[in-house]
Amino acid sequence: MLKTNKSVVLGLYVSALYLICAAPVLAQVKCLDCRDVNQISLEDDLFAELESENKKTELLPSKMLITQRLIWGKNGLARITGIVPLSEENRLRELKWRRGMLKTHQVIGYTTLAAMIAQGIIGGKLYNGDYSLYKLHKDMGNAVTALYFTGAGLSLFAPPAIQLNKTKGLNSARMHKWLATIHLSAMIATQYYSDRDRDMHKAAAYTLVGSYAAATLVLRFK
């Protein structure tokens, strides 16, 4: 459990470090596969709305994640410390940061999925009696956990999108969020049962891989 906690802390630390240092560097990276990212990062559209005399556009969306509100809200840390004051110019800059962070989130997602599949193969051999793989299984588990929470941190702490007219009904972005709730719960269950209940650990792991794969791939569909 201690090793697992270290992996979680490492993942969140890497996300925070990225938020502070690397986001501006990746600001110019474009996401070609993710419809949601492309929609929320249209600086020209935002510029046109902000400069419109007949339409008032809020700089921040009415709804944000708690993690986003903590940093990027009107009274968030970035605002009250004066590091990133709330202004039209800074919001355009934040949208570029968001695009870079979500693109990195996407890349880490594919990497994490590949690591999960490898972990599943190793775990299957371990369950079949090849106990020489026990240490490798544990080490791979810590690596998967660190990757998972690094990717999650990039998504949770990315600057909020602009206020958009939400599409009604089921869409890929909404499915991605629903599946994220499932695989986060499965990740927690997998770690909790790792040394407590072999069957529950296995069932949670399968749920984790299945829901994470679906969440990773669903954004490739329009």
pTM (predicted TM-score): 0.71
Which band of pLDDT confidence, cut at 50, 70 and 90, is reported for residue 221? low
* pLDDT, tens digit (0-9, with 9 covering 90-100), for 58-68: 889 988 999 99
Cα 205 from Cα 194, distance rounded (Å): 9
- pLDDT 10s digits, 30-39: 443 444 444 4
Residue range(s) defining the domain that contains residue 160: 2-218
How many domains is the chain partitioned into structurally?
Answer: 1
- For the segment 167-186, what is each residue's pLDDT rounded down to a tens digit? 677 788 889 999 999 999 99
- pLDDT confidence of residue 29: 39
Residue 164 DSSP SS3: coil
Cβ contacts of residue 152 below 8 Å, gap of 6+? 11, 15, 184
